[in-house]
Amino acid sequence: MPHDHHDHDHAHALLPPDPALRVKALETILTEKGLIDPAALDEIIDTYENRIGPRNGAHVVARAWSDPAFRAALLEDATAVVSELGYYGRQGEHMVAVENTEDTHNMVVCTLCSCYPWPLLGIPPAWYKSDAYRARAVREPRKVLADFGVTLPEDTAVRVWDSTAEVRYLVIPQRPAGTEGLDEAALMDLVTRDSMIGTGLALRP
């Protein structure tokens, strides 16, 4: 069997030790070689800082709460449904929506790296990428929930989804009681990023 022979390559160690200088060095070399357009970098950053974030996901959840046909279609084929709203793209090519109920609470992790549905939730938070979350979410999800101040009813099962392939999961949190009269915009304000990862619950009005 061939061996993965790259184990001892450390080209990255040739760059400056300080990470800010490391990025700058790479950007400089690549720009000089004609491989990078600094204006394209600004455009990418603006996209993930200002245009793509968890409000996209909140929009999907609020609509699922208020429109039963939309909710059914979302649970059937989330990729098609979110694409129609314009939320298709890098790291969201294969979406699956999973719904929290009295019976089951869903939670998402990527134990091998930090896979995350960028078009719906933006860039993952630091804790999602942390060793602690990646290590613990699958073995002790209830203790991890406690770190977020969340306690589930004793008879609710926890189902943790480990994103080991290119499929990205969106948790549809339970709609809070007392929200019957709220429109989609008001419902969106109750949907937090963490509630769509499953480490939080939707806010109460």
Partner 1 sequence: MSRVHDMGGRFGDGPVQPEPETEVFHADWHPRALAVTLACGSLDQWNIDTSRHARERLAPKDYAAFSYYEKWLAGLADMLVDKGVLTPEELSSGHAAGPSPLADRKLTADAVTGVLARGGPADRPAQIAATFARGDRVRTRRHAHNAFVDGGHTRLPDYAAGATGRIVRLHGHHVLPDAAAHGLGDRPEPVYAVAFAASELWARPEHPRDEVVLDLWQSYLEPAT
Would you please indicate which residues are annotated as catalytic (active-site) residues?
110, 113-115
Q: How far is the CB of 70 from partner 1 (least distance, A)?
A: 21
Q: Is 96 in the site for partner 1 (CB under 8 A)?
A: yes
CA distance 151 to 144: 10
Kindly tell me the burial class for residue 93, based on how many C-beta atoms sit within 10 Å of its own C-beta (0-12, 13-18, 19 or more). Answer: middle
CA angle 88, 70, 77 (to 5 degrees): 50
The residue count for the chain: 205
Q: Is 199 in the site for partner 1 (CB under 8 A)?
A: yes
User: Segment contacting partner 1 (CB under 8 A): 63-71, 140-148, 178-186?
Assistant: 140-148
* Closer to partner 1 by Cβ: residue 67 or 72: 72
When binding is defined by CB under 8 A, the residue of 73, 75, 85, 138 that contacts partner 1 is 138
Pairing state of beta strands 167-172 and 94-99?
A: parallel
CA distance 85 to 78: 11
CA distance 83 to 104: 27
Q: How far is the CB of 108 from partner 1 (least distance, A)?
A: 10
Q: Is 73 in the site for partner 1 (CB under 8 A)?
A: no
Q: Is 151 in the site for partner 1 (CB under 8 A)?
A: no
Q: Is 32 in the site for partner 1 (CB under 8 A)?
A: yes
Q: Is 66 in the site for partner 1 (CB under 8 A)?
A: no
When binding is defined by CB under 8 A, the residue of 66, 73, 85, 162 that contacts partner 1 is 162
